[in-house]
Amino acid sequence: MIFLSNLINGLSLGSVYAIIALGYTMVYGISKMLNFAHGDVIMVGAYISFCGTAYLNLPAWASVILAMIVCTALGILIEGLAYRPLRGTGSLAVLITAIGVSYFLQNAALLIWGSAPKVFTSVFDKLGNSISLFDGELTITWEALFTLIAAVIIMVGMTLFTGKTKVGKAMRAVSEDNGAAQLMGINVNSTISMTFAIGSALAAIAGVLLCSSYPALMPTTGAMPGIKAFTAAVFGGIGSIPGAMLGGILIGVIEIFGRAFISSELSDAIVFGVLIIVLLVKPSGLLGKKITEKV
Amino acid sequence: MKMQIKNGRLSPYTKNSIISYGLVIGAFVIVSILNSMGMVSSSLQGQLVPICCYIVMAVSLNLVVGISGELSLGHAGFMSAGAYTGIVVSGILETSGLPIYGRLAVAIICGAIVAGVLGFLIGIPVLRLRGDYLAIVTLAFGEIIKNIMNIVYAGKDSHGFHLKTNPDLGLEEGGRMLLNGPMGATQVQRISTFAAGFVLVLITLFVVQNIMNSKQGRAIMACRDNRIAAESIGLNVMKYKLMAFTVSAALAGMGGALFGLNYSTLLPVKFNFNTSVLILVFVVLGGLGNIWGSIIAATILTILPEALRQFADYRMLAYAIVLILVMIFTYSPKIKNFTQGFIDKNFKRKKPTAQTEGGGQV
């Protein structure tokens, strides 16, 4: 039973990582940049949702939608102001700008909401207690259950979106070959904006889900999950949507199992250790495409 | 350093290095004089040693990112290895009667050796990867080092030195804890000085500039510019990349030891991902492969948050905005074209410069 409850916790945490990793991987696929500010968009999303319920007295679902709208706008704004002027200059310049944006968001949050942790009320608070199975031996929290469901829905939704819709196909085309896509009449600018918008909306959902399970909300809340999700995206093969899902869930499960069965202090080291081993065996990640070099 | 003399004149390399050393020595002398005259504010005074450390860190990271062309996100890990080694060595030698400078030198050398060995061991697997995968693995190693520092406890008593992964060291009375796990190093004797920092900066400059102008350095840069071409003319790419990585780690260990011995307490959290990123910011902002750029960026960006103190709460926000704006103004193709057009229009030269600046390409 301990094993099973840890597995569920791991899957739930992994689902959050997977949703965040999806944002990383999509942005990486389309603009070949590591968007380090993504973790902080999660934090902003969680704060907006917190404000929605605590100050505006909105119902939980409305606060989530509000957070998604604000984060979508934020994502488009960041891309347009900070990243677009640097497009085509190589990944390192954009990487540093992304770090600047990350500092900006963290410090702006610090000024607006202060450094003291806010206690985030779970959006599933109204549902009451957790579900208990096997005569109370196994309890599943609503948060864990809904996080898993949300991850599955998002996963299916994104696969359909990128596979079937016109915008999704445009995204894949731009990530495959930017120049050729433009020649085919695809508006590259708006497609990239769209990718940032979707990634940021997903980050808002992830932020709400993360803080529903782990309620302490601080300006630095997004930093570590951001790094872990980034790891997850690489783990699964960066640029690949199923890879991000798989990587996220594996990282979450490994983290929770490491914490429960090996050492609580070394859980991060275990996660990163597994990542290193996987990348050494399979250098392009679990589901990543191997790119052969042409001379 | 080889003095290359051609036609009775110094070679440009030698001339450049002499200018570099001269500038560093000049800066040191000026700051020392100002300091002795009491013209350096106390907040700046406290930052002199960290500035030297960050210069060492930035120049050494530049060796990996700029000259060897591999993005490393775990440089703070080597810094922490050096810092903790330095603290432990200095703590052990405290009662040995060695003069303070000797102790500092031994601590820094030990820090460099430990970090260098660590860099070598980590480099072997890491450098098999490329690009962003390499970056993420260096990040992972940095986090692992930080995590391990969190569970290391060390102390010394009359029986000698104890090292364990739990706080129960069984020290006898009069024994002293040197490392306290997540509490970090406590009661460190602060023996770092600005002069030592200055010497370290000179050593780092000497090492990196000589590597850059040597056969090995040119091989490293060839591997960066075109791996396949370098391989096809018989260069062992792995060897040269590993060399750059190891030297960089050893230099970072040196800087770390100096850094560690500058504070009475040092938490493992100090060496997290943010510190690695901070150093990377120095390198990229200063220009990849540009040693002077790294030095200037490290100095300015270390002073900047203090200088922005008048903005009080807004200072880190201002720092972030300055960082973003500087990046956009330095690298944006549109702005570059605009300024180039402006220069061409108003200060027309006889022939256009065909030279591309080294720092501009990322």
Q: What is the pLDDT of residue B248?
A: 94
The whole-number average pLDDT for the span B172-192 is: 77
Angstroms from A146 CA to nearest CA on chain B: 30
Query: Percentage of chain A with pLDDT > 90?
Result: 28
Helical ranges in chain B per DSSP H: 12-36, 42-62, 75-93, 100-126, 131-149, 194-212, 215-225, 227-232, 237-260, 273-286, 291-307, 315-331, 333-346
Q: Which residues of chain B does A92 touch, with a Cβ-Cβ cutoff of 8 Å?
A: 65, 71, 284, 288, 362
> Would the pLDDT of B359 be above 50?
no
Q: Are residues B285 and A96, on separate chains, in Cβ contact within 8 Å? A: yes
Q: What is the pLDDT of residue B349?
A: 56
Q: Are B126 and B137 in contact (CB under 8 A)?
A: yes
Q: What is the pLDDT of residue B92?
A: 84
Query: How many domains would you assign to chain A?
Result: 1
Q: Are residues A82 and B324, on separate chains, in Cβ contact within 8 Å? A: yes
The whole-number average pLDDT for the span B226-250 is: 91
Q: What is the pLDDT of residue B8?
A: 61
Of A134-143, A240-249, A276-285, B300-309, the one with minimum mean pLDDT is: A134-143
Q: Are residues B128 and A280, on separate chains, in Cβ contact within 8 Å? A: yes
Q: Are residues B314 and A111, on separate chains, in Cβ contact within 8 Å? A: yes
Going by C-beta distance under 8 Å and a sequence separation of 6 or more, which residues neighbour residue B79?
A: B57, B115, B252, B253, B255, B256, B259, B271, B275
pTM exceeding 0.80:
yes
Of A137-151, B56-70, B103-117, B331-345, the one with minimum mean pLDDT is: B331-345
Domain assignment of residue A100, given as a range = 23-222
More confident residue, A138 or B219: B219
Angstroms from B13 CA to nearest CA on chain A: 28
Sorted by where each starts, the structural domains of chain B and their CATH numbers stand as 10-346 (1.10.3470)
| Mean pLDDT score of chain B | 83
Of A47-61, B7-21, B29-43, B90-104, the one with minimum mean pLDDT is: B7-21
Q: What is the pLDDT of residue A197?
A: 93
Q: Is A269 on the interface with B (CB under 8 A)?
A: yes
Best of B304, B324, B336 to disrupt the A interface (most A CBs within 10 Å) is: B324
Within 93-132 of A, beta carbons closer than 8 Å to B belong to 93, 95-97, 99-101, 103-104, 107-108, 110-111
Q: Which residues of chain A does B65 touch, with a Cβ-Cβ cutoff of 8 Å?
A: 92
Q: Are residues B147 and A90, on separate chains, in Cβ contact within 8 Å? A: no
Q: What is the pLDDT of residue B343?
A: 76
Angstroms from A128 CA to nearest CA on chain B: 37
pLDDT digits (tens, 9 = 90+) for A264-295: 778 888 888 888 888 888 877 787 776 665 55
Split at pLDDT 50, 70, 90, the class of B55 is very high
Q: Which two tokens stand for residue A194?
A: 């769209």
Q: What is the pLDDT of residue B32?
A: 85
Distance of alpha carbon B31 from alpha carbon B39, whole angstroms: 9
Measured CA to CA in angstroms, residue A33 lies from A79, A193, A289, B70 at distances of 11, 14, 17, 15
Q: What is the pLDDT of residue B201?
A: 92
Q: Is A284 on the interface with B (CB under 8 A)?
A: yes
What three-state secondary structure class fits B156? strand
Question: Which among B274, B284, B319 is the nearest to A93, CB-wise?
Answer: B284
Query: Percentage of chain B with pLDDT > 90?
Result: 22
pLDDT digits (tens, 9 = 90+) for A184-235: 999 989 999 999 999 999 999 999 999 888 888 888 888 888 888 888 888 8
Q: Is A285 on the interface with B (CB under 8 A)?
A: yes
Task: Using CB atoms within 10 Å of the CB of residue B222, give its burial: 0 to 12 exposed, 13 to 18 middle, 19+ buried.
Answer: middle
The whole-number average pLDDT for the span B146-150 is: 86
Q: What is the pLDDT of residue A5?
A: 83
Q: Are residues B317 and A108, on separate chains, in Cβ contact within 8 Å? A: yes
Going by C-beta distance under 8 Å and a sequence separation of 6 or more, which residues neighbour residue A138?
A: A1, A4, A5, A132
| Residue that is written with structure tokens 């702006």 in the block | A108
Question: Which among B125, B130, B328 is the nearest to A85, CB-wise?
Answer: B328
Q: What is the pLDDT of residue B6?
A: 54
Best of A89, A224, A240 to disrupt the B interface (most B CBs within 10 Å) is: A89
The whole-number average pLDDT for the span B190-201 is: 88
Angstroms from B357 CA to nearest CA on chain A: 14
Instruction: Give a yes or no: residue A244 inside a domain.
Output: no
Q: What is the pLDDT of residue A295?
A: 59
Q: Are residues B128 and A283, on separate chains, in Cβ contact within 8 Å? A: yes
Q: Are residues A234 and B288, on separate chains, in Cβ contact within 8 Å? A: no
Instruction: Give a yes or no: residue A105 inside a domain.
Output: yes
Instruction: Give a yes or no: residue A261 inside a domain.
Output: no
Q: How many C-beta atoms surround the C-beta of residue B25 within 10 A?
A: 13
Nearest CA in chain B to A294: B228
Split at pLDDT 50, 70, 90, the class of B357 is very low
Angstroms from B138 CA to nearest CA on chain A: 9
Going by C-beta distance under 8 Å and a sequence separation of 6 or more, which residues neighbour residue B272?
A: B76, B143, B146
Q: What is the pLDDT of residue B172?
A: 67
ipTM for this model: 0.83
Nearest CA in chain A to B126: A280
| Mean pLDDT score of chain A | 86
Length of chain A, please? 295
Split at pLDDT 50, 70, 90, the class of B361 is very low
Query: Percentage of chain A with pLDDT > 70?
Result: 94
More confident residue, B4 or B260: B260
Task: Give the HSE-up count for residue A189: Cα atoms under 13 Å, Cβ half-sphere.
Answer: 6
pLDDT digits (tens, 9 = 90+) for B60-119: 999 998 888 888 888 999 999 999 999 888 888 877 777 888 888 999 999 999 999 999
Question: Which among A89, A97, A111 is the nearest to B333, CB-wise?
Answer: A89
> Would the pLDDT of B200 be above 50?
yes
Q: Are residues B317 and A86, on separate chains, in Cβ contact within 8 Å? A: no
> Would the pLDDT of A43 be above 60?
yes
Q: What is the pLDDT of residue A44?
A: 93
Angstroms from A102 CA to nearest CA on chain B: 8
Q: Is A77 on the interface with B (CB under 8 A)?
A: no
Q: What is the pLDDT of residue B356?
A: 45
Best of B127, B144, B237, B294 to disrupt the A interface (most A CBs within 10 Å) is: B144
For the ranges A115-124, B233-242, B271-280, the one whose mean pLDDT is highest: B233-242
Question: Which among A88, A234, A265 is the nearest to B132, CB-wise?
Answer: A234
Q: Which residues of chain A does B332 touch, with a Cβ-Cβ cutoff of 8 Å?
A: 85-86, 89
CA dihedral B68→B71→B76→B77, nearest 10 degrees, is -90
More confident residue, B345 or A218: A218
Please give the interface size between A and B, counted as residue pairs whose CB atoms are below 8 Å apart: 131
Split at pLDDT 50, 70, 90, the class of A177 is confident
Q: Which residues of chain A does B151 touch, with a Cβ-Cβ cutoff of 8 Å?
A: 263, 265-266
Split at pLDDT 50, 70, 90, the class of B360 is very low
Q: What is the pLDDT of residue B173?
A: 67
What three-state secondary structure class fits B152? coil
Angstroms from B190 CA to nearest CA on chain A: 29
